[in-house]
Structure 1
Amino acid sequence: MAENPVMPTEVSARIGAFDRFAEAASRVASRAWFFCFCVLLVVLWAPSIVLLRDIDTWQLIINTLTTIITFLMVALLQNSQTRADQAVQHKLNAIADMLSDLAREDGLEDDARELRRAVGLEEHESTTHNADTSSEGR
């Protein structure tokens, strides 16, 4: 298995426990019913000022809860987004590599270099570059 996978087939299919949890949390948090639940919590919290009588305590409770929940959700959602971005980049690398190899075969080396630069695929990341270089030396 490659340390820095280039092709989608080189990416491990194993997902850790935290990644599975982050993915599930992301799915839940992106649903309409979750938003409605959050709105309902705020609506239920608002009249609780009658019970607490102290406006500072009342505000402190909601501010503390929302800060903690926001902090945790940002961490979970960032994990999911980073993994999604990496998956897209691996797929782009594979497509660009294939198109670049086809362009080389058709004599379109300048177009191949431009395509590789456009998606950030370095020459050393090519799956066929090493084979091309070794066959040129013969």
Structure 2
Amino acid sequence: MPSEVGNHLGVFDRFATQASNFVSRAWFFVLCVLLVVIWAPSVLVLPDIDTWQLIINTVTTIVTFLLVALLQNTQKRADDAVQHKLNAIAEGLSAMMDRLARDHPELRDDRDELRQAVGLEERESAE
């Protein structure tokens, strides 16, 4: 059964994968904590509390917005790959049940139920 999931990734997909690998490391979390630790005492330097809050709010909003977009991309591709693998397993199981149904006719109903449950379409036979 040929794979429908290609190995070719576009530029954005490769970038999203690299970004996901980068931000999922423990040291990235430490870097974020360090940023907050550096930001907190800056209240003494900045002229008013609003500017101080605006800085951290802006930075965290921008970083969150961009990371959500990148991580959604990698999560969707991972979900698509898992779904493809599950469909391949269900297709193989269905084919095996079809072959065994010759000796065990009760498997034909189970096979049909499996195909319907996972949404596998019936193949038209050339016979």
- TM (norm. structure 1) is 0.82
**CA spacing shift, 1:24–1:8, aligned 2, 3 Å:** farther
Aligned length: 122
Pair 1:20-2:9 in alignment: no
Q: 1:51 corresponds to which residue?
A: 45
Q: 1:31 corresponds to which residue?
A: 25
The runs of 4+ residues in structure 1 deviating greater than 6 Å are none
Measure the CA separation in 1 of the matches of 2:64 and 2:14: 19
- TM (norm. structure 2) is 0.89
Measure the CA separation in 1 of the matches of 2:18 and 2:112: 40
Q: 1:113 corresponds to which residue?
A: 112
For 2:11, the aligned partner's letter is A
CA RMSD, Structure 1 to Structure 2 (Å): 1.4
**CA spacing shift, 1:130–1:97, aligned 2, 3 Å:** same
For 1:89, the aligned partner's letter is Q
For 2:79, the aligned partner's letter is D
Pair 1:9-2:27 in alignment: no
Measure the CA separation in 2 of the matches of 1:37 and 1:64: 17
Contact 1:96 1:121 in 2 (8 A): no
**Aligned-pair CA distance for 1:45:** 0.4
**CA spacing shift, 1:54–1:26, aligned 2, 3 Å:** same
**Aligned-pair CA distance for 1:33:** 0.7
Alignment identity in percent?
Answer: 62
Unaligned runs of 5+ in 2: 102-106
Measure the CA separation in 2 of the matches of 1:94 and 1:121: 12
**CA spacing shift, 1:47–1:74, aligned 2, 3 Å:** same
Q: 100, 106, 120: which one pairs with 1:122?
A: 120
